[in-house]
Amino acid sequence: MSEIFRRELRRLMPYGLGGPLLVLAAGALMEGTQGLTAGWLVSFVLVPCLLGVATVAPDTGAGATAFLARLPLDPRRTFAVKLAAALVWLLPTMLLASLLLTDETAGSALTWRVELRETPVALLCFGAGVLGSVIADKVMPAVLMAPLVGLGALVGALAPPVVVLRVPAPEIAPVLMLGLGGALVAIAFVAFTRGDRHRSSSRPAVIAGGGVAAALALSFAGTSAAHAWSVDAAVPGLVVGAEACPASRDGKTLVVPISGERWTGLEQRVVVIDRATRSTWVVPVRDAEKPELAPDGRSLLVRSSRGAGGWLVSLETRGVRRVSNRSLDGVGLPDAIWRGDGLALLRRLATRIETLEIDGASAQGASIAVSQDFHDLGVVPGTSRVLGWDPAGIVAIDLPRTGSSERPGGRASVSAWPSGFRCVAASLSPSGRFLIARDASGFLLADLAGGPPVSFQAKPDARVPGDRLAASFAPGEDRIALPLEGGGVGIFDRATGRACCSLVKVSAGKVRVSETAVWSPDGRLAAIPASRSVVSVETGEVRARDLDVAAFVDSDTVIRAGEPLAFASLRDGTVLSRPLGGR
Amino acid sequence: MSDTLEKPAKTAPQGERPDMKSPPGEKRVMEAIGLGCRFGRRWVVRGLDLAVPEGSVTALLGRNGVGKSTTIQMLLGLLPASEGTVSVLGLDPRRRRAEMFSRLGYVSERRELLEERTVSGLARIVAAVHGERFDRDGFEALRARYKLESGSRCSTLSKGQRARLLLSLALMAKPEVLVLDEPTSGLDVVVRDDFLEAIASFVAEEGRAVLLSTHLIEDVARICDRAVIMREGAAALSGEIESLRASVSRYVVRLTGVLPESGPLGLPRGVVVVERDPRAITVVAQGAPEHFEAALEAALPVEGIERRPATLKETFTCLTEPCTQPGPGSEARA
């Protein structure tokens, strides 16, 4: 065997010596980053790949593989000797590269630094070269095939974890490359020993193709299993997110977004809490955010944080239906219109309002033209009516189920703003009865049921952007939290427009549209997340709490952002324990 | 050795296959039963039964493309058989190929070498692989006799030199069986003589055997004592050369009329025309003479028929004539 090994060493000498020479040439002829890049490519991509190709293909093309197959040699040993000789010649190139391709910022250029992180790249390229060499019976086809095999296998193996598990590619790529490199060499080993490489035959290619397919299938199966496992296993480690938790009108159902960094990346889930039974259910979808409960509390719309639609969840049957956003451009899901018989999604464009009916399996759209100066929309719960506002007044639009209107139409004026009021932002109350609007100098509340408008003696915080006013109505809609000038949140009586308590100071620019205040279900307490304070509406007392309030379960119990939801069992249903008092 | 002809069934099921047991006293170093190989849906070889007895030089005969090289590759485990069983020196060549090649020498049709090596360098590798079994002195003697320069690179060797080098390497490893695939094709007369002489010397020693694939009848006549004749991917006949020859007769048919220069003659199946002129034709056929003479008289205006023993070449021509019926080369039936 030593004679064969010596022969292999001698045969591969041009490749083995050429590698270091190319690295030196790259360093000498190119400067700075270019030299480093070229040297890196030569050392860890080109030379390993070529040495891999040189293991079998040149011998096969010249008939040497056939000659060796007719000697009393075990083909497994023959292949092992070829691999060993190639690896022996690979070492000088990699060691030289480790010496020369040192990051200049790390210190001396001659610092001894074995580039362990480059080993997976070199191994993958070597494996791809070896496999290409076994598949093709001539050198040039093998050289062309090697990158295809390597890249194809890498993309095939990388796609499932990156796409499905959302594992960051830079983190998993080295592990995958290492595994793939080994797998490709192993597949080449089988294809060589079982594939009759000593004669012209498609057998090695068939074996290699099957092997790569099996490896990718294994990778896919592993990813799927890890995905299935991580969907459940990741939940106990997640914590309540610092955002408002929607509650049903009857207060029985509370929806809590939870999130956290796990080994699979950022995990975002939604927990549905039945306050009557204190049972919880984790909606079995990932990347879930911004949950929205239907007014009747029977359905839940969960948006995808990955910009690809969302899910419609039935809280009665616990069925989850994907809501595609393909027909509506843009990121995430737009506003939802809950109707008694289903859900419509609404999106406002510059001069149009588009709706998409999510009704059973089919989705039908409608489009209505609106004027250029049209501001935002508010959906009147339980109807197909949306309210819009512009500087002149408030209009109502009844959305058709299908069809489109090119001319501004289908609109009826509800009321005009009082003289001198130039609306720049507004927000509709949850019931759809009140519209709170602001201009540059103040707030105005319009009662859409016909009552007189109410002015508020406070100046708005003009730094809060958007067409939608950062206002938060208490559950009974008798009080409103509004962001004010100078950095603060005020609680106001809806009927009189007077302040209920002293101004709660917040850091400038902290108030967000969705989180001006979080109200307790009975409306007695309002938490101001931006100030980490809780306000008693009845007494006007402001208590500083060193926490981000996520939601009130009731006036005595708060779900605190950043705290974990502990679950007794993932299989038999989940029980919220710590924030609800030790259960 | 058996004097009777073994006529293997071409595609007969296992249960109907002729008895392939070796006659008493005959030891077979190589045996294949029901051997078949197909590429895709096309059968190249099918239902081949073959035996190489110890001490024999067996010729594997057949026209070009009939599957001789494929058969040899299957026999040596270099190509997986699609069906059938093979035994070489009592070993399964597919599973114990390395062990088999330590006792078997093979000179392939393509004559592959390690091109970058010199003659002596190649011999060193082969000697290292075979170990003490390889006769280095014997190789040097043979190399000198065949006029092979020790320092010549294999890539510079001529076709004849490559054949002689391969034969030298194979012989000096002291094999029990030598398999030669078209070893003399393309060689000049002197080299061919050397080659055949070496084969004859090899088999003269006890316990050795040679399987020689060729389409050169002269080679067969000189050194072979048995033959397996392949026709359309299967063994049409196998047995001793003289028995095969005796089974074929040559008929010179003188005619009362004049035959057209071309066109079908309506001869019975199995009759092969070897010469044709307006007043007489010469045909060869295997089988009972009375049957063919009657058939010829029925088909042609016969004045007289003269029967003689066929030459080996005529025997080969007759026995390798393709069948008119569908054979193994047609679509796969399994």
- CA–CA distance, B68 with B45 (Å, rounded to integer): 9
- Chain length of chain B: 334
Q: Contact B114/A64, CB-based, under 8 Å?
A: yes
Chain A, chain B: beta-carbon pairs less than 8 Å apart: 64
A454: which DSSP letter? E
If you average pLDDT over residues A211-236, what whole number do you get? 81
On the question of pLDDT at B298 being above 70, the answer is yes
A1 chain-B contacts, CB cut-off 8 A: 128-129
- CA–CA distance, B65 with B152 (Å, rounded to integer): 34
- The predicted pLDDT at position A508 comes to 57
Determine whether A467 is exposed, middle or buried from the number of CB atoms within 10 Å of its CB (0-12, 13-18, 19+): middle
- The predicted pLDDT at position A509 comes to 57
If you average pLDDT over residues B262-271, what whole number do you get? 73
On the question of pLDDT at B265 being above 90, the answer is no
- CA–CA distance, B173 with B136 (Å, rounded to integer): 9
On the question of pLDDT at A575 being above 60, the answer is no
Q: Which of B112, B119, B134, B169 is most worth mutating to test chain A (most A CB atoms within 10 A of its CB)?
A: B112
Q: How many CB atoms lie within 10 A of CB B303?
A: 12
On the question of pLDDT at A579 being above 50, the answer is no
Cα within 13 Å of Cα(B296), Cβ side: 28
**Token pair belonging to B74:** 């299957």
- CA–CA distance, B253 with B182 (Å, rounded to integer): 36
The torsion defined by the Cα of B179, B181, B183 and B184, in degrees rounded to 10, comes to 130
Output the CA angle A207-A119-A95, nearest 5 degrees: 125
A198 chain-B contacts, CB cut-off 8 A: 78
- Give the pLDDT band (50/70/90) at residue B169: very high
CA A149 to chain centre: 29
Least confident of A333-337, A436-440, A572-576: A572-576
For A248, list phi and psi in degrees, rounded to 5.
-70, 165
Label residues A529-556 b or e (16+ Cβ within 10 Å = b). Answer: bbbbbbbbbeeeebeeeebbbbbbbeee
Q: Contact B113/A7, CB-based, under 8 Å?
A: no
- The predicted pLDDT at position A189 comes to 95
Q: Contact B101/A66, CB-based, under 8 Å?
A: no
- Give the pLDDT band (50/70/90) at residue B331: very low
- The predicted pLDDT at position A362 comes to 52
- Give the pLDDT band (50/70/90) at residue A409: low
- Give the pLDDT band (50/70/90) at residue A458: confident
B108 chain-A contacts, CB cut-off 8 A: 66, 70
Q: Which of A1, A67, A199 is most worth mutating to test chain B (most B CB atoms within 10 A of its CB)?
A: A67
Q: CB pairs under 8 A, 24+ apart, for A499-506?
A: A499/A457, A499/A458, A500/A537, A500/A540, A501/A535, A501/A536, A501/A537, A501/A540, A501/A541, A501/A542, A502/A540, A502/A542, A504/A528, A504/A531, A504/A533, A504/A535, A504/A542, A505/A531, A506/A530, A506/A531
What are the helix (H) ranges across B131-209? 136-145, 159-172, 189-204
B91: which DSSP letter? B
- Give the pLDDT band (50/70/90) at residue B311: confident
Residue of A nearest to B126 (CA): A71
Touching check for B83 and chain A: CB below 8 Å?
no
**Token pair belonging to A504:** 């709660």
What percent of chain A stands above pLDDT 70?
Answer: 80
On the question of pLDDT at A117 being above 70, the answer is no
- CA–CA distance, B40 with A243 (Å, rounded to integer): 65
Nearest to A72 among B78, B98, B125 (CB): B98
- CATH number assigned to the domain covering B248-333: 3.30.70
- The predicted pLDDT at position A407 comes to 54
B98 chain-A contacts, CB cut-off 8 A: 72-75
Least confident of A110-124, A199-213, B286-300: A110-124
What percent of chain B stands above pLDDT 90?
Answer: 34
On the question of pLDDT at A567 being above 60, the answer is no
On the question of pLDDT at A505 being above 80, the answer is no
Q: Which of A5, A60, A71 is most worth mutating to test chain B (most B CB atoms within 10 A of its CB)?
A: A71
Nearest to B125 among A3, A75, A198 (CB): A3
- The predicted pLDDT at position A78 comes to 93
- Please tell me the distance in Å from B102's CA to the nearest CA on chain A: 5
On the question of pLDDT at A128 being above 90, the answer is yes
ipTM above 0.85, yes or no: no
The top-scoring range by mean pLDDT among A16-30, A369-383, B57-71 is: B57-71
- Please tell me the distance in Å from B221's CA to the nearest CA on chain A: 28
Kind and range of the H or E run holding B125: helix B119-130
**Token pair belonging to A75:** 């083909």
Domain B28-243, what fold? Rossmann fold (3.40.50)
Residue of B nearest to A10 (CA): B116
- Please tell me the distance in Å from A2's CA to the nearest CA on chain B: 8
Nearest to B106 among A11, A70, A74 (CB): A70
Least confident of A147-156, A323-332, A432-441, B78-87: A323-332
B101 chain-A contacts, CB cut-off 8 A: 70-73
- CA–CA distance, A380 with A432 (Å, rounded to integer): 5
- The predicted pLDDT at position A191 comes to 93
Residue (of A482, A466, A399) closest to A434 by Cα position: A482
Least confident of A2-11, A432-441, B72-81: A432-441
Q: Contact B101/A7, CB-based, under 8 Å?
A: no
Output the CA angle A73-A79-A80, nearest 5 degrees: 100
Least confident of A437-451, B96-110, B251-265, B271-285: B251-265
What percent of chain B stands above pLDDT 70?
Answer: 87
Mean of all residue pLDDT scores within chain A? 79
- Give the pLDDT band (50/70/90) at residue B126: very high
What residues does each domain of chain B span? Answer: 28-243, 248-333
pLDDT tens for residues B10-34?
Answer: 333 333 344 455 566 678 899 999 9
Tell me, yes or no, if the pTM score tops 0.80: no
- The predicted pLDDT at position A114 comes to 44
CA A419 to chain centre: 47
On the question of pLDDT at B111 being above 80, the answer is yes
- The predicted pLDDT at position B160 comes to 85
Between B109 and A487, whose confidence is greater? B109
Output the DSSP codes for A110-159: T-----GGGHHHHHHHHHHHHHHHHH-SSHHHHHHHHHHHHHHHHHHHHH
